[in-house]
Structure 1
Amino acid sequence: MVNYGHYTAMLVERGRVRGLARHLERLDRDAWVVFGRGLPEEDVRAAIRAAIGDERVAAKVTVVAPDFNPRDPGTPEELSVVVETFPPPEESATLAVRTAGYRRDLPQVKHVGTFGIFYQRRLARMAGFDDALFAPDDEVSEGATWNICFRDDAGTIVWPSAPALPGVSAALIQNGLTRLGHKHETRPVTLDDLAGFRSAFATNALAPVRPITRIDDVEYAVDDETASILRRAHDLVPEERV
């Protein structure tokens, strides 16, 4: 295989996934962007079912083209779905992150071109932080493998509008906040805005809500009230059987 493809990652519990429909939609949408052809939903479901058991596991579903030719990257004849399962990673309860003026290639796609994000994570770790937060042109976009949101003093949940991966967990939380009647909005967030927020949170499919306690030299208290609201919003969507 060459370094060309896309993927999604999900938490599977007893054969069920919260937000499964969105993961399947992502895989099909990204297949059109990356390969110029769609991906049958049942093929993905069958591949996942063949890889999982009854235990709680993390599943990474990667889409590649066996006949992809990097010298002539046209539309491939077929796509393959590769599913890896592993124990859910033990994520730290909170995050301290360092900003980096970095932007992923094709940020709307969860693609396998991950060298840049892991290099930025490595630099952040070497500097004493847990992870990297991308802020190209001083505008906050996304974390290395997660989305970010903030709470302002009025209680509004703020999502950055800079180009970033449309995360499944972020979408579940946004829809849940709307159903709960909790105000949220998407707008530009610059580095100068960071000190004006009450709290910040990272979200992804394997760790839906994690408080961020530090971004560069801006510190945030752990906001249990807002974390509870975000988790409740996320969990409003029922799990779906694969």
Structure 2
Amino acid sequence: MDAARTVAVFNYGHFTAMRAEDGRVRGLGLHLERLDRDARLVFGEGVDAEAVKAAIRAELGERTEAMNVRVNVFSPEVSMSTLDNIVTPTTLVTVRPAAPWPDSAMHVRSVVYERDLPQVKHVGTFGLLLQRRLARLAGYDDALFVNRSGHISEGTVWNVGFYDGSRVVLPTAPALPGVTIHLTCKGLRRMGIPVEMRRLTLADLPSFRSAFATNEAIATQPISSVDEVEFTVDDELNSLLRRAYLSNPAEPLALRGEG
């Protein structure tokens, strides 16, 4: 309860979210690297990967079905007057049943918005969630972020990719380095599908045939339109993207020396 109270009342920390099934997680090593890297930046000290895995296993218990796991990293020692201290961070793991991956396509609108410190998956999510709410109130499913220079970066809680019929193209504007988009592109390259990164603006979008979103909750999801630009919703492409993601072996949560 004290840990939950600290997380709730002092908005300073970071997290990662992953999908666990049968004691395994795709991209587990990347999630652990993210937690350690972000902790060193936010708190001045990293986190122990084996301790994190033990905490996840304890929270999952005997459940083998697909679960969404969130690992929050925070410190009860940090307050407004001690933000400059180097502290050993604490983790709080929560789990909930994972929803089925969606098959519907998203209709999104573009908004000018930039995350604070986009390379860190931090808990300062109010701004991006407000943009999602405003988009939904306006009749869209979600929002796509464009920075002040006019370059596409990412969605509210997802990374974005575009397909021109032969290759996948990712925007290079600063964005959260998502684990799911990394694994998906890794799988695509193994399958012989070229992936490139380049600066993209809204004016570039009509040149693409399809668009998609990725995160740990949805794996991949088609985007049917951005503003007035419509894309082909290709079930075959989405199936290919998911196969690429699933081609990455799930890594065990078991501690060293355990089965």
Report the TM-score range of the alignment, normalised by the length of the smaller protein.
Answer: over 0.9
* 1:141–1:162 contact (8 Å) kept in structure 2: yes
1:8 corresponds to: 16
Question: What's 2:164 paired with?
Answer: 152
Query: Secondary structure of the residue that 2:42 maps to in structure 1?
Result: helix
Equivalent of 1:207, from 211, 214, 218? 218
| 2:75 aligned to which of 56, 61, 65 | 65
CA–CA distance in structure 2, aligned partners of residues 181 and 163 of structure 1 = 27
TM-score w.r.t. the length of structure 2 is: 0.89
5+ residue gaps, structure 2: 1-5, 254-259
- Once the two structures are TM-superposed, the CA of residue 175 in structure 1 deviates from its matched residue by 1.3
| 1:88 match | 98
2:225 is the alignment partner of 1:235: no
Question: Offset at 1:102?
Answer: 0.3
TM-score (norm 1): 0.96
- Matching residue within 112, 124, 133 for 1:101: 112
Instruction: Give, in whole Å, the separation in 1 of the partners of 2:21 and 2:85.
Output: 35
Return the offset for 1:119: 0.5
Assess if the C-alpha contact under 8 Å between 2:43 and 2:88 holds in 1.
no
Matched residues in 2 for 1:79 and 1:111: separation? 14
Letter in 1 for 2:73: V
Q: Decide which of 88, 92, 102 is 1:78's aligned counterpart.
A: 88
Deviation at 1:139? Answer: 1.1
Aligned to 1:140, which of 152, 155, 173? 152
Q: Tell me how far apart the structure 2 counterparts of residues 136 and 83 of structure 1 sit (CA, whole Å).
A: 33
Amino acid at match of 2:40: W
Aligned length: 241
Closer/same/farther in 2, CA of residues 35 and 77 from structure 1, 3 Å limit = closer
Once the two structures are TM-superposed, the CA of residue 54 in structure 1 deviates from its matched residue by 2.4
Kindly state the Cα deviation for residue 132 of structure 1 after the two structures are TM-superposed: 1.0
- Structure 1 residues 122-155: Cα deviation after superposition (integer angstroms, max 9, x where no partner): 11001001111111132110111100000014x1
Deviations 1:145-166 (A, max 9, x none): 100000014x110000000010
Task: Tell me, yes or no, if the aligned pair for 2:46 and 2:88 is still in contact at 8 Å.
Answer: no
Please tell me whether residue 32 in structure 1 is matched to residue 40 in structure 2.
yes
Offset, 1:91: 5.7
SS at match of 1:141: strand
User: Shift of residue 103 of structure 1?
Assistant: 0.5
Query: Which of 194, 205, 209 is the aligned partner of 1:183?
Result: 194
Q: 1:41 aligns with which of 22, 37, 49?
A: 49
* 1:19 paired residue number: 27
Corresponding residue SS for 1:78? coil
Is 1:167 aligned with 2:181?
Answer: no
CA distance in 2 between partners of 1:44 and 1:165 (Å): 21
Picking from 59, 82, 85, the partner of 1:51 is: 59
Displacement after TM superposition at 1:230 (Å) = 1.4
Gaps (5+ residues) in structure 1? none
Q: Which residue of 2 is the match for residue 197 of structure 1?
A: 208
Match of 1:128 among 139, 143, 147: 139
Instruction: Indicate the larger mover: 208-217 or 171-180.
Output: 171-180
CA distance in 2, matches of 1:64, 1:147: 25
State the 1:86 CA deviation. Answer: 1.1
Aligned to 2:152, what secondary structure does the other structure show? coil
